Structure 1
Amino acid sequence: MITYFVVQSFTLGSRGAYIADDPVPATGAEHARRLAERLAASKVGVIAFSRSGDPATGEFEDATVLFMSGDLPTDMQEELAA
């Protein structure tokens, strides 16, 4: 099993749509939180999360949110609320 740590930030497009920036890999939970906190100052929304699983089988657990700030796309908000 492997755990991935990712920071995803969003920019607001000219028509009000959320645009996902390139995801940024992190080396661990604390690194992901620090990156997300820095991005939160300049982005409309940012989320840092981890996800564990087996790349060989494609089976992964649900993501664990490590940090969240600002506004996120509606579909992501709904998924987090579920």
Structure 2
Amino acid sequence: MNTATYYVAQGFELTKGGRLVAGQAQQAQSASAAIRRAENMAGKGGAIAFSRTGDPASGDFEDARILKTFGLIPEDFV
């Protein structure tokens, strides 16, 4: 098994109706870069930085590991 770790920042915007809507996820080169990117995305609601490790060839990945959250995050992400 050939494993890889992906680092991701995901932002969320708060709509006028009070719902959190996911923005486009952005991949980063490292955990610290994902955290910085998420912090920058958090201005309109919230953001989360996370990592996933697994085998890209087989599609088998471990559960996401939360690195840091900022602002408002949907409950099912935490």
Task: Indicate the TM-score class for this superposition, using the shorter chain for normalisation.
Answer: 0.7 to 0.9
Deviation of the 1:14 alpha carbon: 2.2
- What residue in structure 2 maps to residue 36 of structure 1? 38
Distance 2:76 2:32 in 1: 26
Give the match's secondary structure for 2:53. strand
Query: How many aligned residue pairs are there?
Result: 76
Tell me the residue number matched to 2:72.
Answer: 71
Amino acid paired to 2:38: A
Q: CA RMSD in A?
A: 1.2
Runs of 4+ in 1 over 3 A off after TM superposition: none
Which of 1, 4, 7 is the aligned partner of 2:6?
4
Partner of 1:51: 52
TM-score under structure 1 normalisation?
0.83
How high is the sequence identity, in percent, across the aligned residues? 46
Partner of 2:63: 62
- Structure 2 gap ranges (5+): none
Amino acid at match of 1:4: Y
Q: Alpha-carbon deviation of 1:16?
A: 1.4
